[in-house]
Amino acid sequence: MKHLRPVNRKAARIDETASLMEEDVVALQQAPKPHVPMGCTLSFSPGWEVDAAGGTAGLCQPVERDIYDCYVTCFWPVQVPDHVNYSPDWASNCAVATKDWRNLDLVFP
């Protein structure tokens, strides 16, 4: 952090968490300027399952961000794993999507 200097151990741990998060999750509209990932689109709708290179590594957001729309209620036919037939356990390690989304993995057929 730039404006707060940790001076005890607990503060140092908070500072560490902050710096980890800074590099971990960046919102597209986060200041100072919009973050537009290379090779990606600024579309806010799900379903863009491949990036410009034809892979998944460069997607602007992980497909998991729409887990409840796409995986359970299925209003949008995005390519998340099929929980009815082929990947019934896909989300079993993800009890709370906001906390556990890192546990969701991609499935390669």
Report, as residue numbers or ranges, the catalytic residues: 66
Point out which span in 3-11, 50-58, 84-92, 100-108 binds another protein (CB under 8 A): 3-11
Q: Alpha carbon 8 to chain centroid distance?
A: 32
**Residue 2 interacts with another protein (CB under 8 A): yes or no:** yes
Residues 81-100 contacting another protein, CB under 8 A: none
Among the listed residues 23, 24, 44, 77, the single contact to another protein using CB under 8 A: 44
Instruction: Rank residues 2 and 38 by Cβ distance to another protein and give the closer one.
Output: 2
Please name the residues in contact with 64: beta carbons below 8 A apart, sequence gap of 6 or more: 80, 97, 101, 104
Single-letter amino acid, residue 12: A
* Residue 108: strand, helix, or coil: coil
Chain-centre distance for alpha carbon 93: 15
The site for another protein (CB under 8 A) is made up of 1-11, 13-14, 18, 21, 27-32, 44-45, 65
